[in-house]
Structure 1
Amino acid sequence: MARTPSSGTQHALRAGDYEAVIASVGATVRSLTYAGRDLVVPFDADEVRPSYRGATLAPWPNRVVDGRYTFGGVERQLSLTEPARSHALHGLAAWLDFEAVDKGPDHVTLAAVIQPQSGYPWRIVVVTRFELGPDGLTQTVTARNESAEPAPWGTGPHPYLVAGDGLVDDWTLELPAAEVLAVTPDRLIPTDLVAVDADEPERFDFRTARTIGSVEIDHAYSGLARDARGLTTVRVTAASGSGVQMSWDDACAWVQIHTADKPEPALSRLGLAVEPMTCAPDAFNAADYDFDAGLIVLEPGAESTASWRIAAID
């Protein structure tokens, strides 16, 4: 019997010039190419997924500060999965092994259950569908609360987008966001929601496309502009004109942008993390902030759905 790779069962998809491999652990986009060109930073099937690369984040994206929150009048404590900053990072689904419940040449639907546990005592069924088409790779995530009590919920993806040759510094970013969430420099704890051109526009304001350069970003944006279809689109392009774009509707009112800075130069700034989110960082503590953090409360038996799409700029 063949050994399952470290990233889980591999689901290869193809449609036209697009190819993708979805790994079952964390319902992860392990690779995505267009005409042989990487659109995301890939990793090997038998590699432990680095830096949440391509994972599905649930039942919260981003961080819960100190892993502590109060919901329904009860204080909860989550495991601290970001030890360096002492936060609970990126939810509980990223290391679940999702089961395929439907599969074809250009699509796969995966499902897993977040079981009641210390810190998050609710049962949530998570179903996610990946589908390749002429407009790229679309992922849809649906959560259903199978508990007897309301549950806090949020989701989002974690791809590192690749525009083409070079590194993040060389690429052009178009990010139609008017507001950025200020955070503390050491632990990235949210403080204030401010205009992107208020204090450091050269670092945060990409409403007009421009080269990213050497700026370091690990921040959530809101105030997202949308087109006539209600979509927000982020575009990342290389000097050659090739690129990649990511679009989503108003299910995600936030997006985290991270320039993927690492201590090791060979691993640093290989891709730009673009993470649409249904809620802000630390949304489980929404009452602590004077802006709408977007926390979803899933009533018993209720469902919540969000989707996004990654496509090539050819």
Structure 2
Amino acid sequence: MAFEIFEQHFGELTEYVVQDAATGNRFVVVPEHGAIIRQLSLRKNLTLFSILKTPPTPQAILADTKSHSELLFPFASRIPDGKYKFLGKEYQLEKNEDGNLNAIHGLVRKKHFELGDQVIEADHASIQLHYHVQETAGYPFDITFSVKYTLHADGRFELTYDAVNNGKDPAPVMFGWHPYFFLGNEDVDAWKINIPSDTVVRFNENLIPVGKDQFTTEMPVLLHRRDFDNCFVVKTSGSGVSTELISANQNVTLKIDQETGEGKFNYLVVYTPPARDCVAIEPLTANVDSFNTGEGLNILAHGHHISGTISLRLI
């Protein structure tokens, strides 16, 4: 059988490798550090591309403040001053952003996830991980959060999240993934991006939404001398949309598919870091600060769950 799953050490961390020996496609997940994907390699023809930028050493991963590959739950991006109101009650989250201004990126980052099912079949292999969010300061809800990573024989990588409310009270939930992508040894200025949106969220100076504007840039757009740090409302005419990161020189495109529709990934953040060696492309289930605005926010009743899938492939 071509697929295999095995354990290895990365410094003091323990990680799991899921790979397809027939193609070389593989991903590496670190359960004890937020269940992040540390490495993701996918093949296009004769070339195996490492497409996910993460810190290169165990020490750098443990010290990371840029949320490389992190899972963002039960909220993503910023909540101003860490304050939100839900069903008439006010809550105060820890202000954990640099500068102590906002709560940012949720409550499961860098947490120790428990291993779940490991599956190997003829056409795919997957690994599932769980974390229990319970009675956290500013979030007094009881949620089991899980993520399943799957590698398919056709070269697709999938991330599927699931959240279930174990508590008696309704709970607000939002999910996002925070990967930084690159293609070969080129920098950002060599690539084009195709963003599936005609609406961009307008931010204030604190990167908190204050409205929406039309996004009329012709797609795909060359990233040369182009900076993005924006949240977009994606077009949701069907069951999914695709963002494309395109390298014409290498004849390869990274296609990032996100489920859309009720409760799914109807928002997208695109960010070009100052080093211009990668692009963050972050599917979100709700708008920034949705805990206050309700835009896209999922509200889970007792015993109910919500899920969604993001998939990647090279074309």
Q: If the length of structure 2 is used for normalisation, what is the TM-score? A: 0.86
- 1:20 and 2:27 correspond: yes
Q: Which amino acid aligns with 2:188?
A: V
When structure 1 is superposed on structure 2, of 43-52 and 3-12 the one drifting more is: 3-12
Deviations 1:155-213 (A, max 9, x none): 011111113332112211011111000112x311111111112xxxxxxx2x5212111
Deviations 1:119-139 (A, max 9, x none): 000111011100001142101
Q: Please state whether the residue corresponding to 2:76 is helix, strand or coil.
A: coil
1:88–1:6 Cα change, 3 Å: farther
- Which of 200, 218, 229 is residue 218 of structure 1 equivalent to? 229
Q: Please state whether the residue corresponding to 2:136 is helix, strand or coil.
A: coil
Tell me the equivalent position of 2:42. Answer: 34
- Which of 225, 229, 249 is residue 259 of structure 2 equivalent to? 249
CA distance in 2, matches of 1:253, 1:208: 19
CA contact (8 A) 1:7 1:48 kept: no
When structure 1 is superposed on structure 2, of 2-11 and 66-75 the one drifting more is: 2-11
1:3–1:196 Cα change, 3 Å: closer
- Which of 175, 182, 187 is residue 206 of structure 2 equivalent to? 187
Deviation at 1:8, TM superposition (A): 4.1
Equivalent pairs, count: 290
CA distance in 2, matches of 1:112, 1:223: 29
Deviation at 1:118, TM superposition (A): 1.6
CA distance in 2, matches of 1:40, 1:122: 33
Deviations 1:61-118 (A, max 9, x none): 1111111100121111111111336111110011211111111452110011112122
Tell me the equivalent position of 2:280. Answer: 273
Q: Which amino acid aligns with 1:170?
A: A
Deviations 1:252-302 (A, max 9, x none): 0000111122xxxxxx12211111110000000115xxxxx1011011111
1:225–1:29 Cα change, 3 Å: same
CA contact (8 A) 2:8 2:14 kept: no
Q: Which amino acid aligns with 2:87?
A: G
1:91–1:44 Cα change, 3 Å: same
CA contact (8 A) 2:144 2:165 kept: yes
List aligned pairs for 1:217-236, cutoff 5 A: 217-224=228-235, 230-236=239-245
CA distance in 2, matches of 1:226, 1:47: 44
Q: Please state whether the residue corresponding to 1:9 is helix, strand or coil.
A: strand
| Runs of at least 5 residues in structure 2 that lack an aligned partner in the other structure | 1-6
Tell me the equivalent position of 1:145. Answer: 165
Q: Which amino acid aligns with 2:151?
A: L
- 1:89 and 2:104 correspond: yes
CA distance in 1, matches of 2:202, 2:229: 10
Give RMSD over aligned pairs.
2.0
CA distance in 2, matches of 1:159, 1:223: 18
Structure with bigger strand share is 2
Tell me the equivalent position of 1:131. Answer: 150
List aligned pairs for 1:1-314, cutoff 5 A: 5=10, 8-15=13-20, 16-24=23-31, 25-35=33-43, 36-44=48-56, 46-49=58-61, 50=64, 51-84=66-99, 86-104=101-119, 106-133=125-152, 134-184=154-204, 186-197=205-216, 205=217, 208-224=219-235, 230-238=239-247, 239-250=249-260, 251-261=264-274, 268-286=275-293, 293-313=295-315
CA contact (8 A) 1:13 1:21 kept: yes
Deviation at 1:145, TM superposition (A): 0.8
When structure 1 is superposed on structure 2, of 294-303 and 163-172 the one drifting more is: 163-172
Deviation at 1:31, TM superposition (A): 0.8
CA distance in 2, matches of 1:154, 1:196: 24
CA distance in 2, matches of 1:237, 1:132: 22
When structure 1 is superposed on structure 2, of 141-150 and 35-44 the one drifting more is: 35-44
Tell me the equivalent position of 2:4. Answer: none
CA contact (8 A) 2:71 2:108 kept: yes
CA contact (8 A) 1:32 1:42 kept: no
Q: If the length of structure 1 is used for normalisation, what is the TM-score? A: 0.87
CA distance in 1, matches of 2:87, 2:98: 27
| Runs of at least 5 residues in structure 1 that lack an aligned partner in the other structure | 198-204, 262-267, 288-292
CA contact (8 A) 1:31 1:43 kept: no
Deviations 1:224-267 (A, max 9, x none): 2556xx22001101222223111011110000111122xxxxxx
